[in-house]
Amino acid sequence: MRIAVFDTKNYDRHALQAANGKHGHQLQFFEPRLNLDTVGLAQGFDAVCPFVNDRLDATVVAKLAAEGVKLVTLRCAGYNGVDLAACRQHGIAVTRVPAYSPHAVAEHAFALLLAVVRRIHKSYTRVREMDFSLDGLVGFDLHGKTMGVLGAGRIGQATMAIARGFGMRVLAYDLYPNAGLAASLGCEFVSLDEIWSQADVISLHLPLTADSRHLVNRDTLARMKPGAVLINTSRGGLVDTAALLEALKAGRLSGVGLDVYEMEEGVFFENLSESGLQDDQLARLLTFPNVLVTSHQGFLTREALMNIADTTLGNAGAFERGEALVHAISA
Domains 2-100+301-320 and 102-293 share a fold: yes
Supply the mean pLDDT for the chain.
Answer: 96
User: Which pLDDT value is given to residue 45?
Assistant: 98
Cβ-based neighbours of 183, under 8 Å, separated by 6 or more: none
Q: How far apart are CA 117 and CA 60, in angstroms?
A: 43
The tens digit of pLDDT for each residue in 243-266 reads 999 999 999 999 999 999 999 988
Q: Annotated catalytic, 296? A: yes
Confidence of residue 99 (pLDDT cuts 50, 70, 90): confident
Using CA atoms, how far residue 195 sits from 46, 150, 224, 235, 319, in Å, is 46, 9, 8, 19, 42
The tens digit of pLDDT for each residue in 198-248 reads 999 999 999 999 999 999 999 999 999 999 999 999 999 999 999 999 999
Best CA proximity match to 190, nearest among 164, 214, 163, 170: 170
**Strand 201-204's sheet: what is its strand order?**
187-189, 169-173, 146-150, 201-204, 228-232, 253-258, 291-293
User: Which pLDDT value is given to residue 127?
Assistant: 97
CATH number of 2-100+301-320: 3.40.50.720
Best CA proximity match to 261, nearest among 301, 224, 295: 295
Check 119, 235, 262, 327 and give the catalytic one.
235
Architecture of domain 102-293: 3-Layer(aba) Sandwich (3.40)
The tens digit of pLDDT for each residue in 300-313 reads 999 999 999 999 99
Check 119, 205, 296, 327 and give the catalytic one.
296
User: Which pLDDT value is given to residue 80?
Assistant: 86
* Angle formed at CA 232 by CA 119 and CA 163, multiple of 5 degrees: 70
Check 23, 119, 262, 264 and give the catalytic one.
264
Q: Are 226 and 199 in contact (CB under 8 A)?
A: no
Q: What is the reported pTM?
A: 0.89
Q: Where are the domains of the chain?
A: 2-100+301-320, 102-293
Q: Annotated catalytic, 284? A: no
Q: How far apart are CA 40 and CA 60, in angstroms?
A: 9
Q: Annotated catalytic, 327? A: no
The tens digit of pLDDT for each residue in 259-285 reads 999 999 889 988 899 899 999 999 999
